[in-house]
């Protein structure tokens, strides 16, 4: 029988998000495709260094050790590389002992059309076009900042720590739109008056639910396998609606920080996130100095600034 990808958590990741391919990407941008192909083939046996998403993937794959008869996570390479230039990627995967055996190699075309075919729950890429296409097709996706810090020195690799912004990431963008167009006081009053009305689901709501489902499989573990945090610029009185929304969704969030304009960077550093998702570069760019960070673009037509 064919392997059913609808059951495990499926993470699609580009080769440049998994490995440090910035030098190779520079060759592609400055010298063209043929120079890139030649470089990759000539360096086929040279192992790539870990990229911004490496530690997150490594930690997720370790979850499969807990249920050897039923895999919890599948990681699939979603790359614009051609089959001919992909051998260096697979050689590096083998060298690091990563349990990744599947790939979609699109030879320069967008990988986004194939995400739903692989039942992808999360897509990480350094290509904004692919990430935007994924978001537009209801797949949780983030533009991984390739200069992001590697959190391997801060985390136990066997506990996955993921931090999310609220509006336009876990939640829809409607409240953010009120803030952008009417100001902070109108936003606070709207959220106060709608505190008992759950916010709509944002692009990462289903991914958070999937994480919560995995957490519920191991309720008796002393150390949680996955620890999540909401790190938002909301503060009182807008905090109440966010909390009640998560309660209505029946999902677990382990920590919450309602910062009201305070920098997120220091909080994320102490939390030790494997990755942080936010819709604004104003938050992800400084955060990337201390934790791996990914920008979540607005779905086409949902930009609250428009």
Instruction: Give the list of residues 6+ apart from residue 292 with CB closer than 8 angstroms, or none.
Output: 52, 53, 55, 56, 144, 145, 148, 149, 150, 151, 273, 274, 275, 276
pLDDT of residue 222: 60
On the question of pLDDT at 152 being above 60, the answer is: no
Residue 193: closest CA among 180, 168, 175? 175
Q: Which one is catalytic: 165, 167, 278, 302?
A: 165
pLDDT of residue 156: 47
Per-residue pLDDT tens digits for 204-245? 999 999 999 999 888 776 677 899 999 998 888 888 999 999
Instruction: Give the list of residues 6+ apart from residue 143 with CB closer than 8 angstroms, or none.
Output: 125, 126, 127, 128, 131, 294, 295, 296, 297
pLDDT of residue 179: 75
On the question of pLDDT at 261 being above 90, the answer is: no
Q: Domain ranges for the chain, please list them.
A: 9-147, 160-295
- Tell which CATH architecture fits domain 9-147: 3-Layer(aba) Sandwich (3.40)
Q: At what angle do helices 33-42 and 22-31 cross, to 10 degrees?
A: 140
- Percent with pLDDT over 70 in the chain: 94
pLDDT of residue 74: 97
pLDDT of residue 13: 98
Per-residue pLDDT tens digits for 163-199? 999 999 999 988 778 777 777 788 888 878 888 999 9
On the question of pLDDT at 305 being above 70, the answer is: no
Residue 124: closest CA among 105, 144, 109? 144
Side-chain half-sphere CA neighbours of 95 within 13 A: 14
Domains 9-147 and 160-295 belong to one CATH topology? yes
pLDDT of residue 158: 64
- Phi, psi dihedrals of residue 76, rounded to the nearest 5°: -125, 130
CATH 3.40.50.2020 fits 160-295, yes or no: no
- Percent with pLDDT over 90 in the chain: 70
Is residue 165 annotated as part of the catalytic site, yes or no?
A: yes
């Amino acid at each position: 029988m064919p392997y059913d990808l609808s059951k495990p958590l499926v993470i699609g990741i580009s080769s440049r998000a998994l490995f440090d391919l910035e030098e190779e990407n520079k060759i592609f941008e400055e010298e063209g495709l043929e120079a890139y192909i030649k470089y990759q083939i000539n360096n086929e046996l040279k192992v790539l260094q870990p990229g911004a998403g490496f530690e997150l993937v490594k930690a997720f794959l370790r979850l499969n050790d807990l249920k050897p008869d039923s895999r919890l996570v599948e990681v699939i390479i979603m790359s614009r590389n051609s089959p001919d230039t992909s051998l260096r990627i697979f050689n590096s995967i083998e060298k690091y002992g990563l349990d990744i055996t599947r790939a979609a190699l699109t030879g320069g075309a967008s990988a986004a059309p194939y995400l739903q075919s692989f039942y992808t729950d999360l897509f990480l890429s350094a290509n904004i076009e692919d990430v935007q296409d994924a978001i537009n097709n209801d797949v949780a996706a983030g533009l991984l900042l390739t200069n992001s810090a590697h959190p391997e020195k801060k985390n136990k690799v066997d506990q996955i720590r993921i931090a999310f912004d609220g509006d336009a990431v876990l939640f829809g963008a409607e409240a953010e739109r009120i803030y952008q167009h009417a100001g902070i006081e109108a936003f606070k009053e709207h959220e106060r008056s709608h505190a008992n009305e759950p916010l709509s689901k944002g692009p990462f709501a289903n991914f958070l639910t999937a994480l919560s489902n995995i957490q519920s499989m191991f309720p008796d573990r002393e150390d949680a396998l996955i620890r999540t945090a909401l790190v938002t610029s909301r503060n009182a009185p807008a905090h109440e609606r966010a909390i009640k929304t998560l309660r209505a969704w029946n999902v677990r969030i382990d920590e919450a920080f309602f910062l009201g304009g305070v920098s997120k960077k220091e909080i994320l550093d102490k939390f030790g996130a494997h990755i942080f998702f936010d819709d604004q570069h104003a938050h992800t760019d400084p955060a990337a100095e201390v934790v791996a960070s990914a920008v979540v673009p607005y779905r086409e037509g949902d930009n609250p600034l428009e």
